[in-house]
Amino acid sequence: MAFRIIVLAKQVPDTRNVGEDAMTSDGTVNRAALPAIYNPEDLNALEQALLIKDKYADTEIIILTMGPPRAADIIRESMFRDADSGYLVTDKRFAGADTLATSYVISKAVEKIGNYDLILSGRQAIDGDTAQVGPQTAEKLKLPQITYAEEIIDIKKDKVTVKRRLERGVEVVESSLPALITVHSSAEKCRPKNAKLYMKYKHAKTPTELQTIADDYLNQSVRNKDYLQIEELSVDDLKCDIQKIGLAGSPTKVKKIDNVVLQSKDSKVIRDNDTEIRQLMQDLITNHTLG
């Protein structure tokens, strides 16, 4: 048995470590000041695909990412871990997309890649935390969705069994294939990069990147190897309906962005000694906060 798996992965600003310098004076976030990383739960999703490939060696893993040209990094990062190929969906006209417009474009790209058994993605991306793109893509493709997967227990030609992590428990479900599965952070962590694969794929390039390689010899040697080609897909390649992409295709509009204001109070400061703590407890009892 072998499977053709598409993994949806995103490059995100690392919002977990937002330093003072990452906030501009008007309270908005300076994206450029944040390091771009592989969205953590997308790595969990990639690992689930790799585990299937461990079992069924002829399995093919295709990475699909949408973003600016530098998001090609995500595809290389995946190749270093044993993904087979990748598509970068990139076009200035996609800018300003909300989750609905994004899922439309991703579903068009998935249709173009075609002939898949399974789509995997992270549950959510840390720059928005919406967890919407997975289910919305599933709906656009009319596929069953399985969210919050912790483990793919078993996969057969037309059936997958998945353990889901819910707020207060777990569920084991079975679905027909093809299906779309979103993977939870409690799933197996992704394996590290493999040194051999790194050597093999470090020159993998998109056509845009190839144009910037001045070294003719390197340029030619990359062009000669099929496995080093990262495909780029544009609005035209995907025959997208212009009304459904970018800002025009996004029903949600940002009305305004506010800084988080600290409403500070006059705090009474007391020290760690018997007198002050006894007084505090007495006050809490007297004013009926306690007791």
Partner 1 sequence: MNNICVYCEIEDGVVADVSLELVSKASKLASELNCEVEAVVISSGTEKIAEQITPYGADTIHIADDKRLHPYTTLPHAAVLTDIINRKKPQIVLVGATSVGRDLAPRIASELRCGLTADCTDLVIGDYSDPKSGREYKNLLYQIRPAFGGNIIATIVNPETRPQMATVREGVMKKEKTAKQHKTKIEKIDTMKILDNVNFAVKIIERHIEPRKVNLGAAQIIVAGGFGVGSKEGFDLLNDLAKIVGGEVGASRAAVDAGYADHSRQIGQTGVTVRPKLYIACGISGAIQHRAGMDSSAQIISINTDPEAPINSIADVTLVGDLHSVIPKMIKFYKEQSK
Ligand X SMILES: Cc1cc2nc3c(=O)[nH]c(=O)nc-3n(C[C@H](O)[C@H](O)[C@H](O)COP(=O)(O)OP(=O)(O)OC[C@H]3O[C@@H](n4cnc5c(N)ncnc54)[C@H](O)[C@@H]3O)c2cc1C
Binding site for ligand X (CB under 6 A): 15-16, 129
Residue facing ligand X at closest CB distance = 16
User: What does 208 bind: ligand X, partner 1, none (CB cut-off 5 to 8 Å by kind)?
Assistant: none
Per DSSP, 193 falls in state P
Q: Is 28 in the site for partner 1 (CB under 8 A)?
A: yes
Residue count at the site for partner 1 (CB under 8 A)?
Answer: 77
The only residue of 33, 145, 203, 232 in contact with partner 1, by rule CB under 8 A: 145
Provide the minimum distance between the beta carbon of 168 and partner 1 in the complex, in angstroms, as a whole number: 5
Contacts of 246 (CB under 8 A, 6+ apart): 93, 94, 95, 96, 97, 101
How far apart, in Å, do the first and last CA atoms of the chain sit?
Answer: 67
Q: Answer for the pair 86, 75: CB distance below 8 angstroms, yes or no.
A: yes
Q: CA angle 272-277-278, nearest 5°?
A: 145
Q: What is the dihedral of CA 212, 215, 220, 221, to 10 degrees?
A: -110
How many CB atoms lie under 10 A from the CB of residue 18? 14
Please enumerate in sequence order all residues whose Cβ is within 8 A of that of 185, keeping only pairs 6 or more positions apart, or say none: 40, 41, 44, 123
Binds 146: which of ligand X, partner 1, none (CB < 5-8 Å by kind): partner 1
Q: From the list ligand X, partner 1, none, which binds 27 (C-beta under 5 to 8 Å, kind-based)?
A: partner 1
Q: Show the tokens assigned to 82.
A: 């044993």
CB of residue 30 to partner 1, shortest distance in Å: 10
**Host H or E run for residue 151:** strand 145-156
Residue 171 makes contact with partner 1 by CB under 8 A? yes
C-alpha Rg value of the chain to the nearest Å: 24
Among 51, 113, 131, 197, binds partner 1 (CB under 8 A): 131
Residue 260 three-state SS = coil
DSSP, collapsed to helix, strand or coil, labels residue 137 as helix
Determine if 170 is a binding residue for partner 1 (CB under 8 A).
yes
- The correct pick among 175, 204, 228, 231 for binding partner 1 (CB under 8 A) is 175
Q: How many CB atoms lie within 10 A of CB 183?
A: 31
| Partner that binds at residue 173, options ligand X, partner 1, none, CB closer than 5 to 8 Å by kind | partner 1
Q: How far is the CB of 3 from partner 1 (least distance, A)?
A: 18
Per CB under 8 A, 129 contacts partner 1: yes
In angstroms, rounded to a whole number, what is the distance separating the alpha carbons of residues 231 and 225?
13
List the one residue from 95, 199, 242, 284 that touches partner 1 (CB under 8 A).
284
Q: How far is the CB of 68 from partner 1 (least distance, A)?
A: 18
The entry of partner 1, ligand X, none that residue 214 binds, CB within 5 to 8 Å by partner kind: none
- C-beta of 23 vs 213, nearer to partner 1: 23
User: Is position 139 an interface residue for partner 1 (rule: CB under 8 A)?
Assistant: yes
- Nearest distance from C-beta of residue 21 to ligand X, angstroms: 17
